[in-house]
Amino acid sequence: MEMKVTDLAVARGGVPLLAGVSFTLAPGRALILRGPNGSGKTTLLRALAGLQPPLAGEMSFDREAVAYGGHADGLKAQMTVTENLTFWAAVHGLREIDPALTAFDLEGLRDRLAGTLSAGQKRRLGLARLMVTGRPLWLLDEPTVSLDTASVGLFAEAVRGHLARGGMAVIATHIELGLPEAEVLDVGPLKAVLPAAQLDDFDEAFL
């Protein structure tokens, strides 16, 4: 499956943020989204994930292929690491969790309640969940928040393994992930031009 996005425009709170977003991603490829705070990377990812409608443009790829990793971790605090992953795999009709435990160095924590994990450990578990979905298109919003250098390395290896299996990834990040093979899209220059009338209503849009 190829991911093709053409002339996408997105808004948040009624305010247009980005326009003319176009890219094509082939199996085995990753795209890194860059851009200043507030430029619309999260909003773009939400639109790609089908969580909000775009203002305009075309998206051609299978929505069922998407595994979305947003800011909220969505972990079940009263379930163990193993139970969280097993549950998530089962939701996607799968059972295997060991490769994900290994990839994110979670074996030693497999029986710990997710609610008792540190911020970085929770983040690793949240990322491990992507692997057990079996879904080919990872859409990731700031996946390395709370991760130490070693864990960023684990994440980069996991993405690389995913790409090697024919997967794809679109990743919004401010840091250097150590994925030089990834393509980069800077959304900064794609800032939507607000019509004057809309500029008057700008504050209202956030109320």
Ligand X SMILES: Nc1ncnc2c1ncn2[C@@H]1O[C@H](COP(=O)(O)OP(=O)(O)OP(=O)(O)O)[C@@H](O)[C@H]1O
- Select from 21, 30, 35, 66 the one that contacts ligand X (CB under 6 A): 35
> Looking at beta carbons only, is 41 or 162 nearer to ligand X?
41
User: Does position 188 bind ligand X by CB under 6 A?
Assistant: no
Burial 89-100 (b: 16+ CB within 10 A, else e): beeeeeeebeeb
Instruction: Report the number of secondary-structure helices (H) and strands (E) in the chain.
Output: 6, 8
| Interaction between residue 54 and ligand X (CB under 6 A) | no
> In this chain, which of 8, 16, 43, 127 binds ligand X, going by CB under 6 A?
43
Restricted to residues 89-148, the positions that interact with ligand X (CB under 6 A) are none
Q: What is the distance between the alpha carbons of residues 44 and 42, in angstroms, rounded to a whole number? A: 5
When binding is defined by CB under 6 A, the residue of 13, 115, 188, 189 that contacts ligand X is 13
Q: In angstroms, give the least distance from the CB of 142 to ligand X.
A: 6
Q: Which of 3, 8, 9, 17 binds ligand X (CB under 6 A)?
A: 17
**Whole-angstrom Cα distance, residue 162 to residue 104?**
13
- The answer for residues whose C-beta is within 8 angstroms of residue 80's C-beta and 6 or more apart is 110, 111, 112, 113, 114
Q: Which two tokens stand for residue 22?
A: 């176009």
Q: Which is nearer to ligand X, 43 or 121 (CB)?
A: 43
Residues that bind ligand X (CB under 6 A): 12-13, 17, 35, 37-43, 206
